[in-house]
Structure 1
Amino acid sequence: MTNQKSKIPKSQIPNPKSKIHQSQIHQSKIPNPKSKIGEILATAVQQARNLGDKRAEAYALGSLGSLYEQTKQLSESQKLTQQALFLAQTSNAPEITYRWQWQLGRLLKAQGDIKGAIAAYDAAVDTLQSLRSDLVAVNQNVQFTFRDSVEPVYRQSVELLLQSQQEQPDVKILEKARQRIEALQLAELDNFFREACLQGQRVLIDKVVDRDNPTAAILYPIVLENKLQVIVKIPKKPLRVYGREITQPEVEKTLSELRRNLVRPSAIQAFKAQSQQVYNWLIQPIESELETSGVNTLVFVLDGALRNIPPTVLYDGKQYLVEKYAVALSVGLQLFEPKPLVRQQLNALTAGLTEPPPEFSDRFSRLPAIKTELNLISQAGVSTTSLVDGEFTSKALENKVSNVPFSIVHLATHGEFSSRADKTFILASDGPIDISQFGSILRQRDDVRPEAIQLLVLSACKTAAGDNRAALGLAGAAIKAGARSTVASLWQIDDESTAQFVGAFYRELKNPNISKAEALRRAQVQMLKHPNFNTPSFWSAYVLIGNWL
């Protein structure tokens, strides 16, 4: 059988009690002919039955159901999938169960049973959630298969939920869609750390907006296969949704070009055109409502490739977003301890490295302006304890964290954010401090000082080149540090402009009447108006993650 759409003879449909061993499953992935795959699967089903191996039987039946799905024999595929699902559930095999729940959802959707499809996807997501703490253990290659075997379940589920809301959007369904895409983001972080993260006491940011900070709006863009949707929370108002018919590859292509032009001052005109296009997707449909609602801060919970673009650079044809709004990023819909920074006396632990360790000198440049940067923090009225160059070792940092009272940690050193935790690090004079060690160092103060670090600043870091998911490393660093807020650079910029930005930021941070997000905005606007640093590549590199108050 060489035709992809040709029918599989019904004589090859096995008895409902069958499954395959993992080695035979891999053999079944022969691309052509389809009948050969069917024969292998049918044989594997029979062998699993003979051995009484219910898990293998469930896997083989589901795999055969997948084959029927590909050849559009949907009714037969559904029968096989339901049999496989029953066996997986009765065998207590959630790592197999979710796959067949997902497959059943696709089949029901293809047959027009949207309600049934939503229920099947709900079940698949619930099963994945139950696996959250040991998802990595299910498949040792999960770091590489996550995009294929986990992420699509969440995205297709959200797409289905939002498609069912074409006429009058139900606020409960919008909330469900929003929570589901957040569950995906948490699963991505679990996959990044190879462990469950973000456990503990948190507060919904919707409540922060409605109760504590009614001048902030939350924007939740969601990149789906054929549509870019944005769910918005405006203070004291129900959720609403708007979208644009555009495919995921088109979105990713535009964002990739925008990111490339963002750091090329000579490409400013192309950059502005692309930036305005993204502004029209995300902000333009709601800009008048933002104005009439008195909103002055936009909190973005970004999805996918959107994480690689600082929202401050979005351009409306006349102004950048940073000229109109303070901007913050949130890893999810919840915040740890959403309290404002106590400004009476700011104490900072600062550390800087002007020369990278010898073994990193070919990868990272000197940063001679770092001493100026640290001096400008002191000049802004912040009390500092500093570790510079040879003094800045991982052990010295650990010692200061344990023994010095401070609310801010400012690290002026090279670092790199990657989609892999083992490739995410900052540099000390004695070598790299990886993200796990970094988190352990900063969190050890929890044992001696109950208050959290209020602000972590990473001023000379960058996201790994060519890594479309490197922003995961930035989110991971923010989470591991346990800081309420993190300010970090997405790419490395001239260290003189960094020093100027840092000085301006801390001067604004001393003002007790403005938020951290507004302090960042004012510092960026000062850079934007500086004749030497007015292109976005200089002033937009910095983002605020977490508590914006």
Structure 2
Amino acid sequence: MGQYNRAIDLYEQDLAIAREIGDRAGEGITLGNLGVVYRNLGQYNRAIDLYEQHLAIAREIGDRAGEGRALGNLGNAYNSLGQYNRAIDFYEQQLAITREIGDRAGEGRALGNLGAAYNSLGQYNRAIDFYEQQLAITREIGDRAVEGRALGNLGAAFYSLGQYDRALEQFGQAVALFNQLGARAEEAVFLSNIGVLLNDRDQPELAITFLKASVDIRESIRGDIRQLDRDLQQTFTDTIASDYRILADLLLEQDRVLEAQEVLDLLKLQELEDYQLRNVRGTEETRQGISFWPPEQEILDRFYTHLETNTDPQTFFTSAEVTDRVAQLQRNARSQNPNPEQLARLQGNLQQAGNAALLYPLVLDDRLELILVTTSGISRHTVPVDRVELNRAIAAFRSDIEDPFSNSLPNAQQLYQWLIAPLADEIDAAGAETILYAADGQLRYIPLAALHDGDQWLTQRYTLNHITAASLMDFSQAESAPLSILAGAFPAQDLVVEVAGVQRPFSGLPYAQVEVENLQANLPGTVAFFSAGFNRQAIEPRLGNHTIIHLATHGTFQSGHPNDSFILLGDGDRITLFDLDQWQLPNAALVVLSACETAVSGPQLGTGEEILGFGYQIQRTGARAAIASLWVVSDGGTQVLMDAFYGAMQVGLPKAEALRQAQVALITNDFAAVGGNRGIEIFSTVTGQPLVPGGTLAHPYYWAPFILIGNGL
């Protein structure tokens, strides 16, 4: 279920009991189970240590079957580390033991493991030999699910050799078998493989059809316990989410823009799954799945009928019936919408959001695609910048805006030319004053507000509202309610906290204390907790009683695994991204993390999945929106920005507009629009000295790090 910390806790209790009563076999099994959890967490060296302990116990008590399992697990860990030859050595030992004790199922697993290792080494013919041996055993013992895995693995190996006809045959057999078994998640994997293969053969309409069938299945099982066995993801794509990207890319190339937007919306949910957030749920709209044209549905129906009597799908794809339906798609699908009600509904939502425009970028290897939806239409724009060049500019821009003494304008203007300039006339013609922005990939690491058109920053021109996906957003405008704030402030002194067994220092935040004190002074009824008093016991029982939750503290959200991402409380306790599952905030209009570093951390930029994950988890609590930072912020500058933000909220501005006006106030040093300066000074309330040389906070380092995710209305 992805609840790895809970699994570890239970296994460690199990281990303690086994050791207490002297159950050596049970001790070994539990050590192996712990190793599996740590391998799932990517902590391969820790997993290896546990597997080696299991192996030693199995050999000590003569448990040959346990010894084989431990050897196989060691092979899996080294395989994950890319040490394929070492993995092969363990797999061969596993194979010898399973043959010695007559464990045919275990023998099949060992042969499959060897095939996977040789496949990773590029020795595809040798991999095929092992997969074929595994296939023979699975058929002999009647293990149909593993038979499907072997068939799929064979297909992937043949694909790598460029033997597309043989690969297609194996994938087709795997699809038929998993369809018979009702193994929908596994069926989706191999439908996707067929789609990717057909795309490589320059058959885009057929590739789209099979990729859509794969995505549709995955969406139909959304919200269930994670059904897909990771061992069955033996595909030649990096992640499941990459299949969504391939499908969106193909649809855009065929000028099927609304269908592409639909897939991009679903991509956000799948990226959350890949980030290992558990039980990712869609909405009524996403649960409807993918829209199919009638010829696409007919092709799929005939494909399954064909597989009932013929194991070779090649004759199917060259048949007159399929050729005729592909021709229909070529005539009718381009520039048309299979689901016109969807576009009307989306445009109605944009009208409800104050005549907003919706911007979906898609970062591809060779270009950037922009999809713009306004109340008057939908359009696609292709920008000839490849992924490498775009990511280089993103990294350079982040370096600029994280340094208050840098000149950020050149990169800010370059990114504007790529992301906004192609759309600006359409946005303005539609009368849109708000941009709803569903960022993609590394674009999630930069604030749209800090792009520059040559005359002004984008935040001076538009209200900017980041969203996870349009289908996940509540576009309704909430009734105005009094500001009822629960606030917490990290200590002014440094604090050392143990994180993953390592002692990590976190610097004191004196301005966080001032920030929360200002909330108390200016917003009557604010409930505030400081330093060690800012803890779970104090805040969690009260969370559901307030419209705004304001946490002025450290936080770190990292790519890799949600357990590595957390909000730090004043007593050193941590609330992980998983822990947010337990929060219920039905009355909250906003959660503000005015932290040192909240939405992203680490020197290396990933795919931004942690930012997407944070926005989604806050949304699941019931809160309408969240504000978080994209880099290590200025403690004092943040105090000024937050004072201005709450001043704007007090005069009745909506959340996203209040953030915009606070940013403009820092840029211009004019606080009239946010209720006056309310005693705000560009000077430290702690030392009395200017916060920065010259006493200005106009650089985007101070005002741009915070983004609003969710409903900012």
Could you tell me the TM-score, scaled by structure 1's length?
0.85
Q: How does 1:167-206 map to 2 (within 5 A)?
A: 173-192=256-275, 194-198=277-281, 206=346
**2:403 maps to 1:264:** yes
Distance 1:28 1:436, change over 3 A: closer
Q: CA deviation at 1:290?
A: 1.8
Q: CA deviation at 1:504?
A: 0.5
Q: How does 1:302-451 map to 2 (within 5 A)?
A: 302-334=439-471, 337-340=474-477, 342-343=479-480, 345-354=482-491, 355=493, 357-359=495-497, 362-381=504-523, 383-401=525-543, 405-419=545-559, 420-430=561-571, 431-440=573-582, 442-443=583-584, 446=586
Q: CA deviation at 1:381?
A: 4.2
- Matched residue of 2:423: which SS? helix
| 1:11 matched residue in structure 2 | none
Q: CA deviation at 1:220?
A: 0.7
- Matched residue of 1:133: which SS? coil
Distance 1:337 1:433 in 2: 26
Q: CA deviation at 1:321?
A: 0.7
Structure 2: runs of 5+ lacking an equivalent: 1-106, 287-341, 670-694
> Which deviates more, 29-38 or 133-142?
133-142
Distance 1:362 1:142 in 2: 38
Q: CA deviation at 1:544?
A: 0.6
What amino acid is aligned across from residue 185 of structure 1 in structure 2? K
| 1:543 matched residue in structure 2 | 707
Q: Deviations over 1:323-349 (max 9, x none)?
A: 111111011113555444554632211
| Aligned partner of 2:595 among 444, 456, 460 | 460
Distance 1:144 1:157, change over 3 A: same
Distance 1:146 1:45 in 2: 20
Distance 1:304 1:146, change over 3 A: farther
Distance 2:549 2:183 in 1: 45
> Which deviates more, 144-153 or 420-429?
144-153
- Matched residue of 1:533: which SS? coil
Asked if 2 retains the 8 angstrom alpha-carbon contact of 1:493 and 1:537, the reply is yes
Asked if 2 retains the 8 angstrom alpha-carbon contact of 1:88 and 1:94, the reply is yes
Q: CA deviation at 1:366?
A: 1.0
Asked if 2 retains the 8 angstrom alpha-carbon contact of 1:219 and 1:232, the reply is yes
| 1:522 matched residue in structure 2 | 661
| 2:110 matched residue in structure 1 | 23
**2:639 maps to 1:499:** yes
What amino acid is aligned across from residue 546 of structure 1 in structure 2? G
| Aligned partner of 2:386 among 247, 252, 255 | 247
Distance 2:226 2:215 in 1: 16
**2:189 maps to 1:99:** yes
> Which deviates more, 211-220 or 282-291?
211-220
What amino acid is aligned across from residue 555 of structure 2 in structure 1? G
Asked if 2 retains the 8 angstrom alpha-carbon contact of 1:198 and 1:479, the reply is no
Q: CA deviation at 1:119?
A: 0.9
> RMSD of aligned C-alpha atoms?
2.9
What amino acid is aligned across from residue 542 of structure 2 in structure 1? K
| Aligned partner of 1:222 among 362, 375, 400 | 362
Q: Deviations over 1:440-488 (max 9, x none)?
A: 2x40x65xxxxx2111111014222135233234324422442101112
Distance 1:386 1:87, change over 3 A: same
Distance 1:146 1:482 in 2: 38
Distance 1:535 1:477, change over 3 A: farther
| Aligned partner of 2:137 among 40, 47, 66 | 47
| 1:10 matched residue in structure 2 | none
Asked if 1 retains the 8 angstrom alpha-carbon contact of 2:596 and 2:633, the reply is no
Distance 2:173 2:137 in 1: 17
Distance 1:246 1:366 in 2: 42
- Matched residue of 1:363: which SS? strand
- Matched residue of 1:132: which SS? coil
Asked if 1 retains the 8 angstrom alpha-carbon contact of 2:467 and 2:709, the reply is yes
Greater strand share, 1 or 2? 1
Distance 2:705 2:574 in 1: 22
**2:697 maps to 1:533:** yes
Equivalent pairs, count: 510
Question: Identity over the aligned pairs, expressed in percent?
Answer: 26
Distance 2:411 2:155 in 1: 44
What amino acid is aligned across from residue 74 of structure 1 in structure 2? Y
- Matched residue of 2:632: which SS? coil
Distance 1:22 1:412, change over 3 A: same
Distance 2:243 2:657 in 1: 38
Distance 1:208 1:144, change over 3 A: farther
Distance 1:141 1:374, change over 3 A: farther
Q: CA deviation at 1:500?
A: 0.6
Q: Deviations over 1:482-530 (max 9, x none)?
A: 2101112222322111111011001111223x32211111101111234
| 2:252 matched residue in structure 1 | 162
Distance 2:472 2:205 in 1: 33
Asked if 1 retains the 8 angstrom alpha-carbon contact of 2:352 and 2:475, the reply is no
Distance 1:89 1:187 in 2: 22
Distance 2:163 2:232 in 1: 30
Distance 1:389 1:134, change over 3 A: same
Structure showing greater Rg: 2
Asked if 2 retains the 8 angstrom alpha-carbon contact of 1:58 and 1:88, the reply is yes
Distance 1:376 1:110 in 2: 61
| 1:7 matched residue in structure 2 | none
Structure 1: runs of 5+ lacking an equivalent: 1-19, 166-172, 447-451
Q: CA deviation at 1:416?
A: 1.4
Asked if 2 retains the 8 angstrom alpha-carbon contact of 1:377 and 1:502, the reply is no
> Which deviates more, 429-438 or 502-511?
429-438
**2:627 maps to 1:487:** yes
Distance 1:239 1:304 in 2: 22
**2:432 maps to 1:295:** yes
- Matched residue of 1:299: which SS? strand
Distance 1:147 1:417 in 2: 26
What amino acid is aligned across from residue 291 of structure 1 in structure 2? D
| 1:279 matched residue in structure 2 | 416
Q: CA deviation at 1:127?
A: 2.5
Q: CA deviation at 1:140?
A: 5.6
Distance 2:138 2:442 in 1: 43
Could you tell me the TM-score, scaled by structure 2's length?
0.66
Distance 1:337 1:72, change over 3 A: closer
Distance 1:411 1:488 in 2: 10
Asked if 2 retains the 8 angstrom alpha-carbon contact of 1:202 and 1:336, the reply is no
Q: CA deviation at 1:138?
A: 2.7
Distance 1:425 1:480, change over 3 A: farther
**2:276 maps to 1:112:** no
Q: CA deviation at 1:363?
A: 2.8
- Using CA pairs below 8 Å that are at least 6 residues apart, which structure has the higher relative contact order? 1
Distance 1:214 1:400, change over 3 A: closer
Distance 1:433 1:143, change over 3 A: farther
